């Protein structure tokens, strides 16, 4: 039973993970918020594809979090999978993850990511990540943000990932994708070179993404959902996390998704999301999502990729929309500016301020030029 997908039960974490002698470990004390230590949600696990790892359906994206107590609270709630990356917070994010979880290392899955570069550069970045984490290996090493079938099948990338595995520095490998998601997933399902994929997936995603996820699972690839909160917008009358809870439940009702990694920053947020493990969508949740979609209709980019290649100047509209989402939705100004600056190094984003009109047509009828100009104003 414990090996099956969808195991639910408080305290099953230790017995369910093939990550070492977990059952013998004592429960660690939370570093803060002791008054909340007895509040424990039911913990639900799913198998992460051929890795065989049992991960908590609600896991943690640490990207936006600089508070060690939040990471520790997530662990104390039973969450066993933590996502970080070489670039997050200039490396401080990896340092914090390693420090907070060092005494429970064999109870958790750690995933980090590096950007595409030459093979030796990627290995250098990854080794720095391991040093920051103070770990000799991670469960998962991913390449950041692949956006085409060609990148998914890139021999340089595959060669680097294989090498990291052979050297014992990563148990499993794969990539993340938030542009041309369906194309990347389909390419991975066909090539079977990747163990896991971290894919942007939410209630705004198209049917093609859902189908491609299913194809990956049939090919043995473990799927981790990200960007599950569709922007994390929290104004316009949406109090608390109700819309975010509904959005997360929507993703997890697709059992092809092993886990989701909502990016949380506070103990309150992780507690409000951790309790969703094993919970089904309700009619009220669908209604909430409809309201959220209506309220943010002018901002929600579904990351469908339809606009790719339409700008005659080469502006990557979808990626700029994502920067804006970090700014307006996540309210993470540093992340928004860093992402936008990286895009500006390879495309003339300032051109959006000069075009008399914009020929780019968005499948969701977003006002592309106006959104591009907002990004330029806030982030340029």
C-beta closer to ligand SF4: residue 220 or 359: 359
Contact flag: residue 306 with ligand SF4 (CB under 6 A)? yes
Which of 152, 358, 375, 379 touches ligand SF4 (CB under 6 A)? 358
Q: What are phi and psi of 142, to 5 degrees?
A: -120, 155
d(CA 116, CA 345): 15
Total number of residues that touch ligand SF4 (CB under 6 A): 27
**Piece of the chain touching ligand SF4 by CB under 6 A; list 216-224, 234-242, 260-268, 366-374:** 366-374
Q: Quick check: 202 and 230 in contact, CB under 8 A?
A: yes
Q: At what angle do helices 333-344 and 368-379 cross, to 10 degrees?
A: 110
C-beta closer to ligand SF4: residue 100 or 376: 376
Which of 311, 325, 344, 379 touches ligand SF4 (CB under 6 A)? 311
Q: Is 346 exposed, middle or buried (0-12, 13-18, 19+ CB in 10 A)?
A: exposed
Contact flag: residue 302 with ligand SF4 (CB under 6 A)? yes
Contact flag: residue 313 with ligand SF4 (CB under 6 A)? yes
Which of 99, 369, 374, 378 touches ligand SF4 (CB under 6 A)? 369
Contact flag: residue 363 with ligand SF4 (CB under 6 A)? yes
Contact flag: residue 318 with ligand SF4 (CB under 6 A)? yes
Angle at CA 206, nearest 5°, toward 201 and 209? 55
C-beta closer to ligand SF4: residue 251 or 366: 366
Q: How far is the CB of 364 from ligand SF4 (least distance, A)?
A: 4
Q: How far is the CB of 208 from ligand SF4 (least distance, A)?
A: 12
β-sheet bridge partners, residue 153: none
Which H or E element spans position 259? strand 259-260
Residue 223 to residues 48, 101, 206, 334: CA-CA distances in angstroms?
A: 7, 23, 16, 28
Q: How far is the CB of 189 from ligand SF4 (least distance, A)?
A: 21
Which of 97, 304, 336, 375 touches ligand SF4 (CB under 6 A)? 304
Residue 174 to residues 52, 64, 147: CA-CA distances in angstroms?
A: 15, 22, 13
Q: Quick check: 52 and 90 in contact, CB under 8 A?
A: no
C-beta closer to ligand SF4: residue 74 or 304: 304
Contact flag: residue 303 with ligand SF4 (CB under 6 A)? yes
Q: How far is the CB of 309 from ligand SF4 (least distance, A)?
A: 11
Q: What are phi and psi of 359, to 5 degrees?
A: -85, -5
C-beta closer to ligand SF4: residue 157 or 212: 212
**Which residues 319-338 are close enough to bind ligand SF4 by CB under 6 A?**
321
C-beta closer to ligand SF4: residue 22 or 347: 347
Q: How far is the CB of 308 from ligand SF4 (least distance, A)?
A: 7
Contact flag: residue 36 with ligand SF4 (CB under 6 A)? no
DSSP class per residue in 141-204: EEES---SHHHHT-HHHHHHHHHHHHTTSEEEEEEEESSSHHHHHHHHHHH---SEEEEE--TT
Contact flag: residue 256 with ligand SF4 (CB under 6 A)? no
**Piece of the chain touching ligand SF4 by CB under 6 A; list 7-15, 100-108, 128-136, 317-325:** 317-325
Contact flag: residue 372 with ligand SF4 (CB under 6 A)? yes
Contacts of residue 235, Cβ cutoff 8 Å, sequence gap at least 6 = none
What's the 3-state SS for 5-31? CCEECCCCHHHHCCCCCCCCCCCCCCC
> Which residues contribute to the site for ligand SF4 (CB under 6 A)?
301-307, 311-313, 315, 317-318, 321, 351-352, 355, 358-360, 362-364, 366, 368-369, 372
């Amino acid at each position: 039973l414990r090996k099956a997908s969808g195991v639910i039960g408080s305290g099953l974490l230790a017995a369910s993970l093939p990550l070492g002698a977990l059952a013998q470990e004592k429960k660690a004390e939370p570093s803060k918020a002791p008054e909340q230590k007895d509040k424990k949600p039911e913990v639900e696990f799913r198998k992460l594809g051929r890795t065989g790892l049992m991960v908590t359906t609600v896991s943690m994206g640490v990207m936006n979090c600089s508070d060690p107590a939040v990471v520790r609270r997530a662990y104390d709630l039973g969450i066993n999978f933590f996502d970080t990356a070489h670039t997050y917070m200039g490396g401080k994010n990896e340092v914090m993850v390693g420090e907070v979880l060092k005494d429970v290392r064999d109870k958790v899955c750690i995933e980090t990511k590096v950007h595409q570069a030459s093979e030796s550069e990627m290995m250098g970045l990854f080794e720095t990540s391991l040093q920051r984490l103070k770990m000799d290996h991670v469960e998962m090493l991913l390449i950041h943000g692949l956006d085409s079938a060609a990148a998914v099948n890139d021999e340089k990338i595959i060669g680097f990932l294989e090498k990291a595995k052979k050297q014992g520095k990563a148990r499993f490998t794969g990539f993340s994708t938030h542009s041309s998601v369906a194309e990347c997933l389909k390419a991975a399902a066909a090539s079977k070179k990747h163990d896991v994929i971290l894919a942007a997936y939410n209630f705004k995603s198209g049917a093609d993404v859902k189908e491609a996820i299913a194809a990956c699972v049939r090919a043995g690839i473990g799927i981790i959902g990200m960007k599950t909160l569709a922007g994390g917008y929290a104004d316009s009358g949406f109090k608390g996390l109700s819309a975010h809870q509904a959005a997360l439940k929507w993703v997890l009702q697709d059992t092809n998704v092993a886990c989701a990694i909502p990016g949380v920053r506070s103990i309150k947020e992780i507690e409000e999301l951790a309790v969703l493990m094993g919970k089904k969508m309700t009619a009220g949740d669908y209604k909430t999502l409809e309201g959220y979609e209506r309220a943010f209709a002018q901002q929600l980019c579904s990351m469908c990729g339809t606009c790719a290649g339409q700008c005659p100047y080469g502006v990557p509209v979808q990626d700029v929309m994502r920067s804006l989402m970090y700014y307006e939705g996540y309210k993470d100004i540093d992340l928004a500016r860093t992402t936008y600056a990286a895009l500006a190094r390879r495309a003339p984003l300032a051109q959006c301020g000069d075009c008399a009109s914009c020929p780019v047509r968005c499948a969701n009828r977003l006002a592309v030029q106006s959104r591009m100009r907002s990004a330029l104003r806030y982030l340029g």
